[in-house]
Amino acid sequence: MNYIMNWIKERFQIDEVIHFAQKKDVPVHHSFVWYYFGGLTLFFFGVQVLTGILLLLYYKPGADTAFESVQFLITKVRYGWLIRSVHSWSANLMIFCAFVHLFSNFFERAYRKPRELTWMTGMMLFILALGFGFSGYLLPWNELAYFATKVGTDIPGVIPLIGKPVQLFLRGGSDVTGATLSRFYGFHICVLPLIFLVFLALHLLFVQVQGIGAPLEAEGKIKKRMPFFPDFAVRDVVTWLVALNVVVALAVFLPWELGNKADPFASAPAGIKPEWYFIFMFQSLKFLPAKILFFEGEFLGIVGFGLAGAIFVVWPFLERKSNKGEKQPLVKIVGLVSIAFIIIMTLLGYILG
Amino acid sequence: MKKTVIIAILVLLSQALTVSAQKPNTCISCHKELADELQKPALLSGDDIHHKIGLSCAGCHGGDPSKEDAEEAMSPSKGFVGVPGTLEIPHFCGKCHSKPAYMRSSNLWLPPDQLEKYWTSMHGQRIRKQDKKAAQCVSCHSVHDIREVDNPQASVYAENVPATCSKCHADSTYMAEYGIPTRQMDDFKNSVHGAALLQKHDTGAPACNDCHGNHAAMPPGVTSLGTVCYQCHAAEGELFLASPHKPAFDAMGEAECVYCHSNHKVLHPSDDLVGVEEKAICVNCHSDGDAGFATAKSMKEAIVELQSKYKASKDLLDKAASQGVEVSEEQFALRGIHDQLLQMRKLIHAFDAQKSAAASDSAIKAAGEVHAAGMAAVKEVKSRRYYFAAFTLITLFLAGVLVMKIKSYGR
Amino acid sequence: MLEPNAPPRRKFLNNLLTAGIGGFVLALIYPVARYLNPPAETAPDVSSVIAGKPADVPVNSGKIFKFGAKPGLLVHTADGEFKAFIAECTHLDCTVQYRPDMKLIWCACHNGKYNLNGANIAGPPPRPLTPLTVNIKDDQIFVSQSA
């Protein structure tokens, strides 16, 4: 180990890097546990990249071959069932951890000055993660995915003016076909990863350069700071090991189903639903009446969600009291209402659906 | 060459006929102004096949359709014969329909034997005995709005045949004097054939005429019932005719097929029909000790065995599939077992214990293979759990060591 | 981090750590390595299925094979041609078979008959059988979806 370090030191100026790494620390306080969720999200993303690369060695995109290649993969390829189920489960866990990471930072008002850009790049990463989930879901080209994508891409169609062009762009045509599958495959393995990596690099860079923030209440009262290397890093690794074990357990005991191949001519089976992280939007759109004033109900719903998303993205600039270190009860209210809305709508989506 | 000549003749003829149809038709124009029964023919004629090919009112009733004056138009000197009496109707239609040369000129493919066949039927025989209640051409084909058989609105279109026959045959008051039952339509509606024809619109399923005949309609002879059912159920028929039951049933005068399966109320046969239990039909004649009893018993046992192996394999495969093992190839093999189960049920009609045993042996062997595949699929589930256990142990070990490391930092 | 002259307890812990990391890495690499090794049977392009060898199907005989989720019927006609169809009867989906005595495709359920072009010629079947394309290459019979 030392030999390798010396070899590198003789060739590259890494003193500053080492010094930085030794200095990097984590404030210790009562909300310490939430710090793990950023790393967990990153870990699950790593799992996605690795299992994704393995999957694309056997996956054959195209309406004639996608389903069969996945079927071949999970039956004939050794441990294919494992790689595929891990990929599907880890996607869900990644988005779940992203939700937790988002809301924990929201409640702790981590977005306040100087970390506005960290927050905004984080929101972009979250939206991209949802895009990954949506595009990846279609790739096995099975019944559920086909109809979920049909319903999902129907929704932007109600936006006036840009709605139809957006729909055409997403679908690669007026209907969900093999062209949609090709497009989603391209988005999923190339376009989204590249954009994601840019925002991820920025997000991580900002965190390194600015250091890990503490909640507003704890500022000035931090008694202890834990060195990142090795103390926090080892704790991170332990949580990652547990997370990996959980995802493998899920793959073994609750394997991801494949179901039947998509048949565009068959009628939709009962109970078509998007993935759980879209259910709250899906269900609330269902509740809206067909017409509100002279607008289509669905259109207002989409506008509503778009606005909510936009508000969350620029939140650091809307909520300024935290910059001055003042209390802002609005944060708790907005946060709790959002979480309650999401949970209730998701539950309703499953109970009523 | 021959084909071209025939087509040419038909084209020329149809031209000639349509020309005549385009001439003014005072029958229609006058009768349209009348009321009730006299008006009806004029109103219906638009849908009528005869009218469409240019054979209008005068073609059957005679008279002169170019004359405005009623007496001149309906003059016997112009061939007017008026409305035929009920008993004359077969002759009336037969004027054209029983003449091969004439029929060839208007519809090459319509056989001219309906009248000949009709006289052999029950309906024809009753008409000859001056029974006006018996069915004649108009009873089934209607009049003035006669449609081709393949027209879904025709009274004689496959799906509509049961309703047409039921007009009389389901009317207990009408049929009282003939002493035959009138529940055929009810029975048929509740049968597999009825459900297929009337609900699923499967015109491959039999209507009344497919078993009883059209113009030569008669209840099939008790000992030739087979020829009726075997049109479609050929596999079973072939086996039955070669089986010991054929001579036995003939000797007893028992109805083939119908004895076990009923005639109009044919239901989906269940395995309960065969065997030696109380509900089985075999024990109506066979009793413990005779060869038939032993055959019934062994056939039933073979089927029950295969059915249970099939179900066990299906359950195994379904379970493996629900636990994430992909078993579509094994499920395909299971389909083959199901086909063999169907085959064994057909084989019952041979009433031959050895044949059934041979089929059952090969089927059970195949089922055993599918079952083994099912077990392998379930085993795969187990092996995954072993892998998981090993992985968890290693992970927990590493995590444990790391935790100890954390403690060792003492911070 | 790992000093050479560490006290014994720490050395023991470090050894355990090395062992743990090593074991974990192996537990990860093992399934991935087996995964990367392609299975013996190549994934067929699904629109194309291998129905067997020409020698398996003598003249004037038929063979059922798996075509995707459906049964397929491969017929070696008396004239020496190979033909293939989806073996589901168009009446009620029973599996059809080749009858060498009739030189026809026959359905045992309700006596439906199809000629060797798949056309429904007798009985209840309302439509012809779905034809498949047959190609023989390297002593293997490839059956694929017809265009």
Domain edges within chain A: 33-272
Per-residue confidence band for A20, with pLDDT thresholds at 50, 70 and 90: confident
Q: Which of C41, C58, C51 is nearest to C144 (CA)?
A: C51
What pLDDT shows up at residue B393? Answer: 94
Residue from A43, A49, A53, A58 whose CB has the most chain C CBs within 10 Å, to mutate: A58
Q: What is the pTM of this model?
A: 0.69
Minimal-distance CA residue of chain A relative to C25: A241
| Domain locations in chain C as residue ranges | 1-39, 48-145
Residues of chain C contacting A82 with CB distance shorter than 8 Å = 31, 35
Q: Taking CB atoms and an 8 Å limit, are C24 and B394 in contact across chains?
A: yes
Residues of chain B contacting C9 with CB distance shorter than 8 Å = 408
Size of interface B-C (CB pairs under 8 A): 67
What pLDDT shows up at residue A222? Answer: 80
Q: Taking CB atoms and an 8 Å limit, are C37 and A82 in contact across chains?
A: no
What pLDDT shows up at residue B14? Answer: 61
Q: Output the average pLDDT for chain C.
A: 86
Q: Taking CB atoms and an 8 Å limit, are C43 and A72 in contact across chains?
A: yes
What pLDDT shows up at residue A341? Answer: 93
The answer, for B12 touching chain C at a CB cutoff of 8 Å, is: no
User: Chain C residues with CB-CB distance to B under 8 A?
Assistant: 9-10, 13, 16-17, 20-21, 23-24, 26-27, 31, 64, 66, 69, 71, 91, 94-95, 108-112, 123-126
pLDDT above 90: residue A104: yes
* Nearest-CB residue to A77 (from C1, C39, C68): C39
Q: Taking CB atoms and an 8 Å limit, are C36 and A68 in contact across chains?
A: no
* Nearest-CB residue to C37 (from A60, A78, A261): A78
| Residue-by-residue DSSP string for A24-71 | -EEEESTTGGGGHHHHHHHHHHHHHHHHHHHHHTT---STTTHHHHHH
State CA C105 to chain mean position distance.
23
**What subunits make at least 3 CB pairs under 8 angstroms with C?**
A, B
What pLDDT shows up at residue B369? Answer: 87
**Residues of chain B under the 50 pLDDT cut:** 19-21
CA distance A76 to chain C (A): 6
What residues contact B69, with CB distance under 8 A and at least 6 apart?
none
Per-residue confidence band for C50, with pLDDT thresholds at 50, 70 and 90: confident
The token pair that represents A237 in the structure block: 């690794």
A85/B18: higher pLDDT: A85
CATH number for the region A33-272 comes to 1.20.810.10
CATH class of this structure's domain C48-145: mainly beta
Instruction: Give the long-range contacts of residues B380-384, CB within 8 A, separation 24 or more.
Output: B380/B320, B380/B325, B381/B320, B381/B323, B381/B324, B381/B325, B384/A81, B384/A82, B384/A252
Share of chain A above pLDDT 90, in %: 50
What pLDDT shows up at residue C67? Answer: 85
Q: Taking CB atoms and an 8 Å limit, are A248 and B326 in contact across chains?
A: no
B163/C50: higher pLDDT: B163
- B342 in Cβ contact with C108 (< 8 Å): yes
B305/A158: higher pLDDT: B305
pLDDT above 60: residue C1: no
Reported ipTM:
0.79
| Residue-by-residue DSSP string for B60-82 | HH-S-TT-SSHHHHT-GGGT---
Per-residue confidence band for C147, with pLDDT thresholds at 50, 70 and 90: low
What pLDDT shows up at residue B88? Answer: 92
The answer, for B231 touching chain C at a CB cutoff of 8 Å, is: yes
Helices H / strands E in chain C, number of each: 1, 10
Instruction: Name the least confident of A100-104, A208-212, B328-332.
Output: B328-332
Q: Which of B283, B274, B322, B278 is nearest to B301 (CA)?
A: B274
What residues contact B203, with CB distance under 8 A and at least 6 apart?
B158, B159, B197, C126
Q: How many CB atoms lie within 10 A of CB C147?
A: 4
The token pair that represents A257 in the structure block: 């189903």
Q: Taking CB atoms and an 8 Å limit, are C46 and A82 in contact across chains?
A: no
| Domain locations in chain B as residue ranges | 1-83, 87-219, 308-341+353-410
A56/A160: higher pLDDT: A56
Q: Taking CB atoms and an 8 Å limit, are B394 and C69 in contact across chains?
A: no
Q: Taking CB atoms and an 8 Å limit, are C27 and B391 in contact across chains?
A: yes
Q: Taking CB atoms and an 8 Å limit, are A252 and B387 in contact across chains?
A: yes
Partnered with residue C137 across adjacent β-strands are C140
Instruction: Name the least confident of A156-170, A330-344, C82-96, C118-132.
Output: A156-170
pLDDT above 90: residue A320: no
What pLDDT shows up at residue B390? Answer: 92
Minimal-distance CA residue of chain A relative to C31: A79
What pLDDT shows up at residue A71? Answer: 87
Q: How many CB atoms lie within 10 A of CB A338?
A: 17
Q: Output the average pLDDT for chain A.
A: 90
- B351 in Cβ contact with B246 (< 8 Å): no
Q: Taking CB atoms and an 8 Å limit, are A238 and B388 in contact across chains?
A: no
Instruction: Name the least confident of A177-191, B61-75, C14-28, C102-116.
Output: B61-75
Question: B377-397 burial by CB neighbour count: b if 16+ within 10 A, else e?
Answer: bbebbeebeebbeebeebbeb
